[in-house]
Amino acid sequence: MVSSSHEALHRIFQQEPGLFARVARNLGVAFPPPVSATELSTDLTETRPLERRVDTLLRMDTEDGSFVLAVESQSKPSPHKPASWAYYLSHVYAKYSVPPVLLVVCPDRKTAAWAAQQFDIGPRQWPSLTLRPLVLGPSDLPVIDSPDEAARDIPLTILSAALHRCEPEADAILNALAKALKGLSADDENTAGTFIELMEQGLGTTQAADLWRHLMAVDLSFFQSQTAQQLRAEGEARGEARGEAKGEMKGQAKAVLVLLGHRGVEIGEEDRERILGCGDPEVLDVWLKRALTARTAAEVFAPADGTGTAD
């Protein structure tokens, strides 16, 4: 199943085709910016029942000529991918008679290092085809943590955040992006909604996604687009759920202490802090049941199966 974060890493090039020329400079390759860009069909299906689809396919027309850009979002190394990529490029070249370029976008350094190698296709003595993808990973984009810099190139900032989503710099990038989006005029709300959606997709299920929902609820509360409203609602619902869960656990912990105190079981300060600080409702439930009969604190915390502690 294709994940939303997978989609964002290539869809950003559909939204802003000129982004490719800008990020290519980070890879040491100079492509002129496109004069125009035409979105092509991503369906590379053969006449026989074999379906192949590239993630994004764009014809880029520049002052120096034209090329077809194939963008693949790759989340992990795959031994079968180089053959598929070679097929994509060969098929595109045969179909459009325009030189193809493959850009592989990877959200982690390990996958980027794997994809950046040269793939020789054919026997060792004479490889018939050499695959050389351009690879864009976390190391290839700057950390954009300034609102002014983010405002100058919002699509690049979105891509930077998506590629650094599991790294410590993600929070700073998202804060800068939120401030940059806040500077857009009311006329740009539809564009802002697209950017907000792409950023949400690009963060996947990481902790950075929770921060982004919080920023939607606070810094970007003036946006009324469906995506922004949905993110705010999700963020508020998650906050309420977390609050309710914490309240229930705090009540359980206090019940354990009250019951033990009523039965005259002595509880030291360290054990008291352990009970009040427990964040596992299942463990608290076990302790509450044991508090009904336990004569000492040790009996409350006794291992459940003799192999470890109850928490």
Tell me the pLDDT tens digit for each residue of 162-189.
999 999 999 999 999 988 988 876 566 6
The one-character DSSP state at 135 is: E
Per the CB < 8 A criterion, the answer to whether 9 and 164 are in contact is no
Question: Whole-model pTM?
Answer: 0.64
Residues 6+ apart with CB under 8 A from 90: 129
Tell me the pLDDT tens digit for each residue of 41-98.
888 776 665 667 889 999 999 999 999 999 999 999 999 999 999 999 999 999 999 9
Q: How far apart are CA 208 and CA 188, in angstroms?
A: 25
Closest CA to 197 of 2, 7, 64, 54: 7
